[in-house]
Amino acid sequence: MLNESTVLITGGGRGIGAAIAMAFARTHARVVITGRSASALSAQEEILREAGAGDVLAVTADISKAEQVDRLFETIHDAFGPVDVLVANAGVQGPIGPLEESSPEEFADTLAVNLTGTWLCMRAAIADMKAKHYGKIITMSGGGATGPRERFAAYAASKAAVVRLTETAAAELRHDHIDVNAIAPGAVNTRMLDELLAAGERAGAELTGARSRAENGGTPPDRAAELAVFLASSFSDGITGKLLSAVWDPWEDAAFAERLASDPDFCTLRRIDGKHFGSIDT
């Protein structure tokens, strides 16, 4: 039961991370949120307490820094003990525009937060989970992970790498009963949309769609939150190494979930059916 679990959500102070934290609060889990904005975390902490979380801890940290991740986990251990569930949600969009015009510093920072930060948190959580011979790790995919994303090269490259990191970790940790999966949350309206709109013509072909999303609304973040709770629960035991779309994959369907657990090639980054490239039949 999740009400006996300690769940860490990185980037939990706003956007998709805040929605995921709220979903776990409603399960009465012990919820830990972290991010770089102390004010956002403080505001979200109060909201989570009112929603019924078993307990809440907000810790300011930059997950791209190894020493800050170490301190984060020390703080969690002192308060709640080992981490049972990690939702590695924190991410930045990085530079927008032609890839040759991106600054080395911006490109490197995007990889540091999205990829290295995810790995650092996974690394720390794995030590907790191996001790219990059980655990759940959930990472976040994003636009460009499964196909090219013009003018968002750093973000796309980092998210493709996160998914492959997820699959690799799943293979390594399978015998420790630690399930590792990635969520593609869909086109949720977050601060990244505001950054895209501010970039104007540098965003290229995505600008028109972004303006429409801003006016009409994007994908509700609750869908990704519901999938995260499923992947953290015992109902998903044995499902590992998968890339799941919160919007398009029918993960609530029993037959679909059964295939997720039994077919190693189903819903992976390769998106292949058997050994042949092509569409997936559900």
Residue ranges and CATH numbers for the domains of the chain are 2-188+221-277 (3.40.50.720)
Among residues 152, 155, 251, 266, the one annotated as catalytic is 155
Alpha-carbon span 32 to 83, nearest angstrom: 9
- Specify the pLDDT at position 196: 57
70, 94 Cβ separation under 8 angstroms: no
155 is catalytic: yes
Got the DSSP string for 202-214?
GGTTHHHHHHHHH
Label residue 281 by pLDDT band (50, 70, 90). low
Interval 231-240: pLDDT, tens: 999 999 999 9
- Which residues share a beta bridge with 202? none
Query: Interior CA angle at 230 toward 65 and 249, to 5°?
Result: 100
Least confident range from 12-26, 39-53, 152-166, 202-216: namely: 202-216
